[in-house]
Every structure is written in C-alpha cells, then in structure tokens.
Chain A
C-alpha cells in the first residue's frame, strides 16, 4: 500500500476529516481538514507550489503565507528565515561556527577547510526571494538582510521587510512571494546526495515568531512584543509558529516522496513529472524528502487506551530490509509508552513518516513535524544485531521530538534543553523499559551500556562541563559541543535526578501537566519550572537555579573511613594500628585475632565530601562488619559531613547515593569506599589483561 492510499484510508477511518472529493477528483488544497477543531492558534499558514529540477539541484516556488498578527501591536516589519543561505559560502555564521568548533577540536583543521570547501561549487546552496507582496504591496525592494545574533554581515539567513502599511492588531496579512533556491549538497540535515536523494528541510522562506507581551520572556506589561528570528546556527534551528501547510511538489516521476502531514494526491503530469499534494495542520515546519531508491513499508498503531490509530510509513534504503522491524516496532513502542505516560491521544496526528536516509548523507537522526529521519548502518546490523540499539534509540529519540519539539514548541535557539533534554530523558526512559536498565544501548559480547549511562558519561567526560550553563543559548557557547552537552546530557540527567528525587508518580504528573498545558504553544523554562513547583507541591527553585542557571557540577564523594577501637582512647594510640583504606593490606592478621578485634567496640568515623558546587540532598549508607546497614540523608550543605558511630563492629563500607538516584553526579568512582578489596574484580580483570597482553605479544611475534 503506498503512502497515498495509507493517508486516504486514515482520512476516512478516523472520521476526523472532512475531505471534499469524489472518486475521480482530487482534493484541492484548502479543502481538507484533519482536525475538526484547530489544535493551535495557526498563526503562519502556508500555501506553497514548488518545482524540483533534480539535475540542476534547483527549486522554484510560489508561496502564499497568511500570517495572523497574534498581538495587540501594529506590526510594521516582518522577519523571515532564509536558512538555505547558511550553505551559501564559508562566511555564514553557521559555517563559521562549524569551522571554529572543528578547529578547536583539532589542530588539523585550518580556516577554509570544510567538507563544503573540498568539493566544487556543486556543494553550495542558497535561496533568494525574487518577488514579495504584502497585501498587494510590492515590498521586494525593501528586503534587507540583518544579523540579530552577531555582527557577521556576511550572514544572509535572516531578512527583515519594513511595511508601509502596518498589519493591524489581530488582523491577517497575505504575503505572496516567489523564490528560487539552489539546493546544497547534504552534509548536515538538508540538501541533495548522490544526485537522486533530496532532503528538503530549509527550502522555503519561513516567517519568524512575533512574541506578544506575556509570551516567554517578553514581560506581560511591555508595550510591544518583539520578533524572535535567529540566524541559522550550527546546533539549533527550530522556532516557528504553528499553522496549516498546503504544499504541491512537482518533481520527476522516479522519486518516492515523504512529507510532513498527509500526502493527499500523487498525480502524473504526463511529461515525466508528477505532482505531490500534501497537507499538514498544526505544525510549525514542513519538510519533505525525495529519493529515487526508497523502499516502503507501512503499519498501523492502535492505542490500547482509546483505540485511535496512527499510520506508520517507513521509507527505507535498499539493503536495509533487516532494520524495517526495528524502525516500525520502535515507533509503535514509543507510541505505546507515550500513550500511557502523557495520556491517550498525546500524539494527535493521523500518521508519522519515518525516513531511513542515505548513509553518510548527514540527513540522519533529525526531527520534523510528523516526519523524522533515523539512522541505520548495514555493517553495524550485521556485526552487532540486537547488541547495539542504534536504530531503536535514534527512532525513539526522534519520535519523542514530536512531543517536545513538534507540539511543545519551545525556542530551540535559546533553550534547546527544553526540547533536547526532555527528548533524551524520554529516550533513555523508554529504551530502559524496553531493553533493560543497564543494557538499553549496548548489550554485546559481555559488554553493556545504558542510554542514561552514556548521557552521564558524556557529561562527566567533558572537560568543558563547567564552561557553560543549561540556561545559555546553545549557540552562545564557545564550542558547539558544550551547548549540546548542556542541552542533551546535563538537562536529561537533571530530569532523571528530579524524577528520582520526587518519585516517578509526582514527576510524571509534572511532565503530563507541562505537555498538556503547553502543547501547541511556546513555553520557556520559567513555564516549566512554574509547573514543576505547582505540581510537585514544593518550591524547587533551589534545584533549578543551581542546575539550569549555574555552570556547576554535582559531585559527592566518600572521603574516608576510620575505625578506632574504643579502648584505644584509654590505653594509648600507639598500641593500635589504624586501617587506612587507601593502603593495601600488607599485614595478614591471624583470623581469630581479627575476629576478636572486629567484635570490639569501635568508634568509626566516616567522612563524606561535596566535591562539586551543586548542593543536593544525598542519601548515605554505612555498612558494618556485623552486616548492619545505616542509611541517612545528608542535606548536602557544607563541604564535608562527618558521621561517627560507636558500635561493636567496624565500618566496612560507605557510600553516598548508593542507589544511583543522582545521575547528575559526574564521578561515580568516588561515591563509595570499602575497607576490603574486592578480590574477584582484581582477579578477573588482571587475568583478562594478562591474557590480552600475552595475545598482543604473540601478535607482534608473527613479524619476527
């Protein structure tokens, strides 16, 4: 069944649609309704007709944008993103950031060296508006590039258009424009690959977001709202208003096409081309992909809670038949989980398109409304099979973006963590449920890793983990890796830590409330924190202030264990040998004597230390030689906390956060201390190491 059939079947089956077309006629754009009642405020509504010239890698388009002024202000200027210009040359802010980050990572990179610059002129892409009218007034000559984020005047990814006739409050404007675009070679996210694969992401002029007073960080009592229209940056690119998209794409007949929303019709033009008619509602972006070699697989997910259905359409590469089930099942599993977590019908759209893009095209692992790209590697499938969950984790991750980016439309430029952090948290949570807490990412040949563990490792390993905070815009960090680490790893670990602190039930109520209150709107971190405080029933500002706003790390440690026989204080210290857990056990005591010694009353002192800057209540555990376990909670204040015990047994083990409830802790090695060595681990890995050393020597010997 092709996508067209699937889409139409869904239209009739859901009965949510009022498609006005007969058996032989096709619906015209604007005649289709997916949602009887709009889910969003539908501020930016696009009607686009575009033609792809695949040989010239060009598109020509005509667009009518109906923009509804969401404010009580008169709007005397419009702002648009022209993101394809990020790929125009190496001077764009995007390429500069890319080169800067790369040069900072490696000395081998020199200015001017980039994957784009290595090829010929074929790699570059651009977009230009050839004509623009606003309510019939030609404003083409007034179009001006500007740079709201930096002083790079070579960057042409944002334009402003002053209006002679401002748009009145709460009124609509009809913006007609014609545009041409040269499609860049796909290195990151958008472009062509191998001449017959087109990932069309940043392909049309897209209006910025006018934030009225009271929205996000615009004070409610401000006299005017403001445009939020950032340049194209290396790691962030999404922030837009919701709307309805009617898109007609004309392209050579050989292509299989996937789009945001539903494909309503695919008609042959009789000249070797065909036209795809697509429609999407309550989305804030429209992406499409065309590939001459796509294979297709479809399935249907049915909600166990309310029976509503979602059509799943997978477009995959030749040779990737073995990952079809992984893509489909991961998508269905995610829908299952979300349905019970965020509520039935949390995913309201009738369909989802999963794209398995060309390998090495750079188009993999990205999210767009009702369409996302996964990542699969043939060789990895052959080698690791189910031992490596790349396909599953990427699929779950990108699909979860439908919720934290697609519906809860935060500003990714300024607060990427509200999208990425929540998405990584969701990905780790779902994958742990599906594949095991400690084996959710890797479970191969005795080695394992969890998604959350890898997130923690990503943060812990970073030398620049204290170079920035979650609150800073991702593009403002000196290296893009810092922004990504903050938005992905630290934010997701913060959420997991909060979940463990509050308990899953309370935490889930926060997430559900946040999702339901802010879906199809533009929240900021203050909105998230306000809901967390409200639903948790306690003020969590102390937590968020430290983790989100400050460039700090959380690290607690067991500093020392000291066991002193009580009678030592009476008889003099010189008679006693003190055990230093940092030293080896050079002297073997007689077993009997040792037991006597252990059963003597001891005064034991255990010292815990706060190594990082973040203060967080930590559970501590102290275990005695007689098997007694003491658990207490340290409020985490102060640099050091000392516990003293006087018991007829020695302390043999101390641990802080013994149940790993604080994954934000960047060093797990210092979280526990035993007075005895674990011989098993020493024997096992010394033996393994010894054997591999023998093998290595034997390998060297073959050249002798």
Chain B
C-alpha cells in the first residue's frame, strides 16, 4: 500500500469514527476551561486602566513588561498551573489513546462505554510505552547535550560567519527533531501493534514496530511526514488568519473564537490521522485485519446490543 492510499484509508476511517473528535474536543475544552477564570481575573487587572485601550488595538511589549513586573507572581502561578494541567492532560491522553486506537481499529462505530473500556484495557501497556518513549527521547536529548552540542559548538566556533554558525545549530536541532519524530513514528506503530496484534510486551511491540518501520522506511517516513507537513500548514494558516482579527469587537471576537476552535478540531483530526493512516498502512502491510486482536476483545456482556462488535 502506498502512503497516499494509506492516507486516504485513514482519513475515511477518521470520518467513520468522527464522534472520537467530538469526545476529544470536549476533553480539551473542559481542561482548558479550568484556567479560564484565573486568566480572566488576571486580564481584568488592566481592564480598569488606560492601558486597556492600547492592548485592545495591539500588543505593546513594553507595557506588557510593566504588567509582568506588577503581576509576576500571578503570571508565574498561571504558567505553572498551565504546565501542571498539561501534564495531567498528558496522563489522561495516555489513557484515551488506548480508546482512540482501538476505536479506529474497529469496523463499527463505538460507544463511549466501549471507548472507555478499551482505554482502560490498554492503559497500562500505553503507560509503559510512554515510559519507554520518555527514556528513548531522554537518551537522544542526552546524546545531543553530551556529544552533538559540543561538536556543533566547535563547528560554530570555527565558523567565520553567523550564517554558517546559525546553519550548524539549525542542522543539529533539525537532526534531533528528525530523530525524535522518527522515534515517535516507531512508537505510533508500537501502539497500533499493541491493539491490532494484542501483544502485552511493549518492548517486543516496540522492537517489532522498529523493524516494521525501517523495513519500509521510505513509505512509513513519507506517510508520517505527510501528516506532519499538514499540521505545519494548518498552523501557518491559523497564524495568518488570526492576524486578520485585529479589532476586539464582539463580532470579530466570536469569529476568531470560531476560527480557533476549528483549528483545535483540525489538530485533533490530525492527531487521529497519525494513528488512522499508520494503522491503515500497518494492516495492509502485515495483512492483518484492522480490528483489535480477538484475544484482546472485551468479554461482551450477554445483554448488550453491541455483542458482536469487535471491541
């Protein structure tokens, strides 16, 4: 199967399971809303000053620094809360990913109950995969710090122009990003394999995913980066569109909110796209049916209407 066919198959699969997007979007919305009121409270600190008008018409960096100076502890608390919330959201997502991958593998639409059943079924395996991923990425970053960074520093030291110096640094960072993205790709296949083949050993699943990815290197990488490029394009489009909403009228704000939410939905779509398209490719390449392994299916309650579902 070509990457393009896999992409088309995967896209059709996401469309079929579009309710996943709604669930994930709601989760995102609810979590983000936690900080909505502290954020509003902070912004309201300038809302009774003359600076408010200037902030409405643009973002004055020097005035913001004033604001920062006066409210640094509140801003820091907000930033720490955001990161803390992000970490919690990451853990929740480790849980949800099991449901996502299992749902995408299913031939029938899944209920919320089944989604959560799958999520809980694969949670510990996915958590182990995450730990493994963190270790591998950590090793890569450590390698960068211990070896590549020094090498680049020496090359930069010998660079007689800042163009060359910048390009050396950019090359090093790009290398690390490519390496990390390839690792992410391998772990995507490991997650898919964990569900599709029903294996419990995450190390074995990762090794197999590694072998799978690199035996079909050109196609797996093409598919992965095709998805990644789309994410980049979406982000660029968003930045351009957002820049058009310079005034703060109600109409403009509502329109901007709609655009922002469309962008968030598109990002969620793309997150699913990585799984769905790679799953399509994996199943076609290994000739495995795109559904969870029968040995891994939940014990279906007798009374359930969805007794025949593959989840």
Contact = CB atoms under 8 A, between A and B. Distances in A.
A684 B55 contact: yes
Interface stretch (A259-267, A594-602, A688-696): A688-696
A448 B62 CA distance: 8
B109 interface: no
A682 B253 CA distance: 11
B47 interface: yes
Contact of A669 (B39, B51, B56, B60): B51
Given A317-B161, A678-B47, A701-B90, A693 B69 contact: no
Which of B87, B162, B264: most chain A Cβ within 10 A? B162
Given A680-B56, A689-B39, A700-B90, A454 B257 contact: no
Contacts of A669: 45-46, 49, 51, 66-67, 70
Contacts of A194: 158, 160
Contacts of B46: 669, 681
A213 interface: no
B232 interface: no
A447 B61 contact: yes
A667 B49 CA distance: 12
A680 B254 CA distance: 12
B108 interface: no
A576 B29 CA distance: 42
A668 B96 contact: no
A703 B90 CA distance: 7
Contact of B43 (A358, A676, A682, A696): A682
B32 to A, nearest CB: 4
Contact of B246 (A446, A694, A703): A446
Contacts of B36: 686, 690
A377 B162 contact: yes
A703 B133 contact: yes
A697 B89 contact: yes
Nearest to A454: B62
A686 to B, nearest CB: 5
B43 A293 contact: no
B271 A446 contact: no
Given A685-B43, A696-B82, A701 B89 contact: yes
Nearest to B81: A693
Interface string B283-309: 000000000000000000000000000
A449 interface: yes
A684 B162 contact: no
A703 to B, nearest CB: 6
Contact of B31 (A377, A438, A697): A697
A686 B40 contact: yes
Interface string B196-237: 000000000000000000000000000000000000000000
Contacts of B67: 669
Contacts of A674: 47-50, 52
A319 B161 contact: yes
Interface in A647-704: 653, 655, 658, 667-669, 671-687, 689-691, 693-704
Given A673-B48, A693-B35, A678 B184 contact: no
Contacts of B268: 698
B267 interface: yes
A162 interface: no
Given A668-B51, A685-B43, A704-B130, A448 B58 contact: yes
Nearest to B184: A702
B53 A678 contact: yes
Contact of B55 (A359, A672, A681): A681
Contacts of A456: 62
Given A457-B65, A698-B271, A672 B165 contact: no
B62 A358 contact: no
Contact of A446 (B29, B39, B58): B58
B271 A450 contact: no
A267 to B, nearest CB: 27
Nearest to A319: B163
B162 A672 contact: no
B256 interface: yes
Contacts of A700: 86-87, 89-90, 93
Contacts of A359: 161-162, 165
Which of A450, A668, A678: most chain B Cβ within 10 A? A678
Contacts of B35: 689-690, 693
A192 to B, nearest CB: 12
Nearest to B90: A700
A169 interface: no
Contacts of A691: 257, 260, 264
Contacts of A317: 161-162
B47 A319 contact: no
B131 to A, nearest CB: 11
Contact of A681 (B56, B82, B89): B56
A671 B46 CA distance: 11
Contacts of A460: 65-66, 69
Interface in B14-37: 28-29, 31-33, 35-36
B59 interface: yes
Nearest to A703: B90
Contacts of B59: 446-448
A461 B66 CA distance: 7
A678 B45 CA distance: 10
A441 to B, nearest CB: 8
A704 B164 CA distance: 37
Given A360-B165, A698-B268, A703-B130, A680 B248 contact: yes
Contact of B271 (A683, A696, A702): A702
B94 interface: yes
Which of A448, A669, A686, A704: most chain B Cβ within 10 A? A704
A318 interface: yes
A702 B24 CA distance: 13
Contacts of A442: 61
Contact of B62 (A457, A684, A696): A457
Given A453-B60, A669-B49, A680-B52, 15 more contacts: A319-B162, A446-B59, A655-B50, A669-B51, A672-B51, A681-B248, A682-B44, A691-B257, A693-B35, A695-B267, A697-B28, A698-B264, A700-B87, A700-B89, A703-B130
19 contacts: A359-B161, A450-B62, A669-B51, A669-B67, A669-B70, A672-B48, A672-B50, A673-B49, A674-B49, A677-B47, A681-B43, A684-B56, A685-B39, A685-B55, A691-B260, A694-B264, A697-B86, A698-B267, A700-B89
Interface of A: 194, 196-197, 293, 317-319, 358-360, 377-379, 438, 442, 445-450, 453-454, 456-457, 460-461, 581, 584, 653, 655, 658, 667-669, 671-687, 689-691, 693-704
